[in-house]
Amino acid sequence: MIDVGRIRRDFPILQRQVHGKPLIYLDSAATSQKPKAVVEALVDYYTQTNANIHRGIHALSEEATALYEGARGKVARFIAAPRPSTVIFTRNTTESINLVSHAWGLRHVQPGDEIILTEMEHHSNIVPWQLLAQAKGAKLRFIRLNAEGQLALEELPQLISGKTKLITLTLMSNVLGTINPVRAVIQAAHARGIPVLVDGAQGVPHLPINVVDLNCDFLAFSAHKMLGPTGVGVLYAKEALLEEMDPFLGGGDMIRDVWLDHSTWNDLPWKYEAGTPNIADVIAFGAAIDYLEKIGMPEIHHHEQELGGYALDRLREIEGLSVHGPSDPSIRGGLVSFEVKGLHPHDLGQLLDAEGIAIRAGHHCCKPLMRKMGVVATARASFYLYNTREEIDALAAAILKAKEVFSVVAHR
Ligand code: PMP
């Protein structure tokens, strides 16, 4: 059991008020809040260490380099990567996926080839592949969703063919909350020699991950959804793939040598980190990892599943409210998308905001999924280690109040 009361004291923003009410932050799937330790790491870096890395011979540069590379080591340990050099820092999940679609895709995907996605992907894991498919004359195919918001995996054997070059899918849906059986997909893909990219933007912040055990070929995720700062993403990839791929961006730091007519590439991981990186935020991401590890990922996952199950129960009690996604809480993460009959999600979001409750309302960057679900938007409450049952009670009460306000307005 985690001590949520104690955790909450580490997050200064959770003490503030919004519209005169205590903030209830239920939008961590969009971005998480940051503990003091992360903010302090940023301040410490800029007040004590600030210098460019990898090239200086002075003390500050050496210290900054050690902190930056130390953060890489922490990330590697967090996902059980075999070596820190298989962890590449990018700006976000989106950039990590684009790195693969360029550096791996342009080399390996040829006209007529196919890439398999799923119908629940975020735009970040659709658009880069559309761009690649257009550039190369390739085709995208999709694993369908069933009525429960789960992947119709029984159809995967028919989707995979000799033309399939890559399977790419999310570990957890940011709309439905579904935790996908990525291990089964990876096993099926590897049996046919096909690599798999896992979009871990929603999974890595909430579930214990071991990339060796999972055996994924690529894993992309963002620091800002796991207590870290914005502006830092991660691409983990198997070493052989990183060695074989071409660089994504060219410039300083990613080269070994440069002549006027050609260049050679730096060792891993720097081959994929062109230019001055986001030094301060990477270092503060290291502090976020320390924080998550101190609490424990299995404990965090357990807490969120418990909250998710409680939210399902409380919300389902509300007349006219329907929850999207799997009914089985054991295959759901800590987020709930829902619809309240007669209330547009944006109106609901605004009424909840007036109560100090922050939820997300919209298409969640999953427009193809919205079309599949037959809705234009959903309301979504998402939970993290700092949320409580009392906050879910407050959400349920505020939804009931919003329903009343709207029925009064509707009957005027
Ligand atoms: N994939 C999923 C499943 C997501 O939820 C998100 C963020 N909402 C992304 C990718 C993109 O993350 P970022 O905006 O940090 O690149």
Among 121, 174, 227, residue to substitute to test ligand 1 (most atoms within 8 Å of Cβ):
174
pLDDT at 405 over 90: no
pLDDT at 242 over 80: yes
- Average model confidence (pLDDT) across the chain: 96
| pLDDT in the model for residue 55 | 78
| pLDDT in the model for residue 406 | 80
Ligand 1 site, residue 201, Cβ cutoff 6 A: yes
Q: Cα–Cα distances in Å, from 159 out to 128, 141, 391?
A: 20, 7, 43
Index of the ligand 1 atom closest to the CA of residue 96: 16
At 51-74, the pLDDT tens digits run 999 977 899 999 999 999 999 999
- Range with lowest mean pLDDT among 55-64, 92-101, 400-409: 400-409
Neighbours of 295 (CB within 10 A): 18
Q: Token pair 């979009």 is at which residue?
A: 199
Residue type at position 152: A
DSSP designation for 133: H
Residue 1 — very low, low, confident or very high, per pLDDT cuts 50/70/90? Answer: confident
Mean pLDDT of 146-151: 95
**Residues acting as catalytic residues:** 365
Residue with CA at minimum distance from ligand 1 atom 8? 30
Mean pLDDT of 333-359: 96
Give the side-chain half-sphere CA count within 13 A for 112: 3
pLDDT at 410 over 70: no
Ligand 1 site, residue 96, Cβ cutoff 6 A: no
| pLDDT in the model for residue 407 | 76
Separation of CA 410 and ligand 1 centre (Å) = 36
Ligand 1 site, residue 90, Cβ cutoff 6 A: no
Give the side-chain half-sphere CA count within 13 A for 292: 31
**Spatial contact of 362 and 392, defined as CB atoms under 8 Å apart:** no
Separation of CA 360 and ligand 1 centre (Å) = 14
Q: Token pair 């829902």 is at which residue?
A: 338
Ligand 1 site, residue 122, Cβ cutoff 6 A: yes
d(CA 338, CA 176) in angstroms, rounded, equals 9
Index of the ligand 1 atom closest to the CA of residue 170: 3
Mean pLDDT of 313-340: 95
Which domains are delineated in the chain? 4-30+297-410 (3.90.1150.10), 38-294 (3.40.640.10)
pLDDT at 296 over 80: yes
pLDDT at 43 over 90: yes
Mean pLDDT of 337-342: 95
At 17-26, the pLDDT tens digits run 999 999 999 9
Separation of CA 93 and ligand 1 centre (Å) = 6
Ligand 1 site, residue 199, Cβ cutoff 6 A: yes
Among 89, 100, 365, residue to substitute to test ligand 1 (most atoms within 8 Å of Cβ):
365
**Which token pair is 353?**
């905001």
| pLDDT in the model for residue 412 | 59
Give the side-chain half-sphere CA count within 13 A for 96: 28
**Residues sharing a CB contact under 8 Å with residue 349, sequence separation 6 or more, in sequence order:** 359, 360, 361, 379
Ligand 1 site, residue 222, Cβ cutoff 6 A: yes
Among 202, 219, 384, residue to substitute to test ligand 1 (most atoms within 8 Å of Cβ):
202
CA-wise closest residue to 365 among 150, 21, 156, 92: 92
Index of the ligand 1 atom closest to the CA of residue 224: 15
| pLDDT in the model for residue 68 | 98
Sign of CA dihedral 114, 116, 119, 122: negative
Mean pLDDT of 323-349: 94
